[in-house]
Amino acid sequence: MATTRPMERRDFLKLGAVAGGGLFLLIYAPDSAAGGEAALSPNAFLRIDPSGAVTITVARSDMGQGVRTALPMIVAEELDADWDRVHITQADAHPDRYGRMMTVGSTSVRNGAWLPLRNAGAAAREMLVAAAAAQWGVSASTLRTERGRVRHDASGRSAGYGELADAAAALPIPAAPTLKDPARFTLIGTSPLQLDARDKVTGRAAYGIDARPPGLLFATVVHPPVFGSRVKSFDATKARAVTGVRSVVQISTGVAVVAEHTWAAFQGARALAITYENDGFAMSSADIFRSLAALAESPGVEAKRVGDVQAAMAGASARVEATYEAPYLAHATMEPMNCTADVRPDRVELWAPTQNPQGAQQLAARLAGVPLDRTVVHVQLMGCGWGRRSSTDFVQDAVETSKAVGAPVQVVWTREEDMQHDFYRPAAHVRLTGGLSADGTLVAATVRVAAQAISGGRNGVDSNAVASVADTPYAIPNYLVEYCRATNEVPVGYWRSVGPSQNTFIFESFIDELAAKAGARPGRLQARAAGQRAAHAPGAEPRRRAIGLGLVAPGRPRARRGPGRGQGRARGRGGRGVARARAHPRAQGDPRGRLRADHPPAHRRGTDVRLGRRRPHGGAVRGDHDRERARAAGQLQQLPHAAHGRDARGRRPRDPEPCRAGGRG
């Protein structure tokens, strides 16, 4: 691609010429994961070809969160593109062309692409308008854009973007394009059909398990059942006798059974006789929780300290102590763990449902001994991810197996292997103490979390383990959070919101216990705590904080109540989701008793809100990660309510339908 001018550090677009003509913009977005000054990294390619079609190449992985529609929506909104003519392609892995391609932590929209993609769309729109103004000899200010066309109302002339693309490509890129007023949004805030929805419904969408390169064989891997153990020897006589089994090979992670189809591979794996060197991990679940409890007996590293906790607790009129435990949790993705690899002497090609394309590329290149530029990773759709597919263990299985048999191989894990060899959400032991004043006010609290660390953490504290308690929205005047780092052989990893998935339940349950001790309704104790200003939450408005907790704001009507009707809310500090459940117990003669999850308010839509069991591992509420990015997140949340209340055609949605327990609300 030939650039038309030197790139500056703060540029976000590169203009280029492409075969066939048209306008081609390389979109840059800051890599929010990089330290120091944000690095410039391309996230997607925007192309407007002479036919008027708009194509966006997305460099983020889609696991059901809709990123392959969300990113094009941002560009198309500012571009005033015809949504019916917007197309997407998925980018293959590249060491640096797209910057950091890892799709985790809400980095696709909120934490990186929002403003750069808006700027890209606005710049392209202004270039197209300038091209039309030059052709027609009119001022650009007299022109407007609509659904992929530039219009001059005074003369009635109009031109499609495709007609203007070549001329626009010859113009300079606007340094500071004018962004739309959110009140004028017609696409953002609506719910258009996902661009790949039809392909998903009709089976044309390419998930990882759908890869079918020529000559493909199928395999599964039996991994050692004990963490840290190794394969000592194996007898594959019965496995090779299974019809369809081609070969059985040992790889570094276990024993792979390669067959003509997946069922034969699974049957062959069951017939294996394997002996292991079990000198690794030997703790039971009970042993692990006993070790966590023992660890929590001693003070940990301070994650948060406010006020004088010891003095406040000594002066409290009543104290409440509680201990909660949360288990390890597997991701249990809907699509089995799989990867397809074709390893040749001078080239590697992968078809991988991965959240970490560059990690998969680097691993495959290293294992196969080929350069990165000879290692191709086709990023496939994922049938769920939740962080599990950011690891590369399943990629390693496929690369090593293909290399061993000299043929393209698709490795598919059994569900049993998936459950037993995940990177689990860490188990946790949490101890809490609360001090109440004579009038029932929460004056002091301590939280001590004992758990394994997912990351190294800062100052010895794994932020994932203390999320939603170290940054609680409650303004407790005297507050201490400690972290006790546990170590064992159980592999742990990111499980969606990680800490908030358990800590929100734990802390809110503890608030209930404190309220019971104080003889007050939990909501009143919450409101009292939320309404206090504190040093660790400067500038927050008490009313806004109460609303964020799911409390009824002053002046707002309370929920309707009556026989057999109740209401509850939950909110996670690590997430922006809010769930509201109404219980409708079956009354005598009423066969319709049910538990209904109502839709959240309009300005909360777009987060992942789920109704689950009231248990710490039930996933009661899952929302987008609460990583604050002032400008991007602020603009996303300041969209007018009217914009959220329309679909892509400008229609108002019907009243929300109730969904059954366990469904999406």
Which of 181, 202, 223 is where one domain is finished? 202
134 pLDDT above the threshold of 60:
yes
Which of 165, 180, 202 is where one domain is finished? 202
In the predicted model, what is the mean pLDDT of residues 592-609? 34
Which of 357, 389, 417 is where one domain is finished? 417
Helices and strands per DSSP (H, E), number in the chain: 17, 25
pLDDT at 25: 67
Of residues 258, 417, 212, 265, the one with CA closest to residue 333: 417
Q: What are phi and psi of 317, to 5 degrees?
A: -80, -25
Give CA 176 to chain center in angstroms: 31
183-231, pLDDT tens digit by residue?
999 999 999 989 999 999 999 999 999 999 999 999 999 999 999 899 9
In the predicted model, what is the mean pLDDT of residues 156-168? 94
272-320, pLDDT tens digit by residue?
999 999 877 889 999 999 999 999 999 999 999 999 999 999 999 999 9
CATH of the domain at 32: 3.30.365.10
640 pLDDT above the threshold of 50:
no
Cα–Cα distance for residue pair 222/268, rounded to 1 Å: 10
SS (HEC) of 562-597 = CCCCEEEEEECCCECCEEEEEEECCCCCCCCCEEEE
Query: 211: which DSSP letter?
Result: -
Do 542 and 531 meet the contact criterion of CB atoms below 8 Å apart? yes
pLDDT at 112: 67
pLDDT at 599: 36
Check whether residue 197 and residue 306 sit in a common domain.
Answer: no
459 pLDDT above the threshold of 90:
no
Do 206 and 381 meet the contact criterion of CB atoms below 8 Å apart? yes
- The whole domain housing 342 covers 208-279+332-417
Check whether residue 345 and residue 451 sit in a common domain.
Answer: no
Q: Which has more pLDDT, 640 or 139?
A: 139
Percent with pLDDT over 70 in the chain? 71
> For residue 559, what are the contacts with CB-CB under 8 A and spacing of at least 6?
552, 567, 582
Check whether residue 245 and residue 315 sit in a common domain.
Answer: no
563 CB burial (10 A radius; 0-12, 13-18, 19+): exposed
Rg (C-alpha) for the chain, rounded Å, is 28
Q: In the structure, what pLDDT confidence band is assigned to residue 175 with cuts at 50, 70 and 90?
A: confident
Question: What is the bridge-based pairing of β-strands 375-379 and 347-352?
Answer: parallel
In a domain, 662, yes or no: no
Check whether residue 147 and residue 248 sit in a common domain.
Answer: no
Task: Kindly list the distances between the CA atom of residue 559 and the CA atoms of 201, 564, 567, in Å, as whole numbers in the listed order.
Answer: 38, 13, 8
Q: Which two tokens stand for residue 143?
A: 């022109």
pLDDT at 348: 98
Of residues 187, 193, 195, 242, the one with CA closest to residue 220: 242
Percent with pLDDT over 90 in the chain? 60
Cα–Cα distance for residue pair 155/178, rounded to 1 Å: 25
16 pLDDT above the threshold of 60:
no
Do 75 and 177 meet the contact criterion of CB atoms below 8 Å apart? no
393-450, pLDDT tens digit by residue?
999 999 999 999 999 999 999 999 999 999 999 999 999 999 999 988 899 999 999 9
550 pLDDT above the threshold of 80:
no
457 pLDDT above the threshold of 70:
yes
Check whether residue 509 and residue 623 sit in a common domain.
Answer: yes
In the predicted model, what is the mean pLDDT of residues 490-508? 91
pLDDT at 562: 52
Check whether residue 242 and residue 342 sit in a common domain.
Answer: yes
Check whether residue 21 and residue 156 sit in a common domain.
Answer: yes
- Average pLDDT, rounded, for the chain: 79
In a domain, 654, yes or no: no
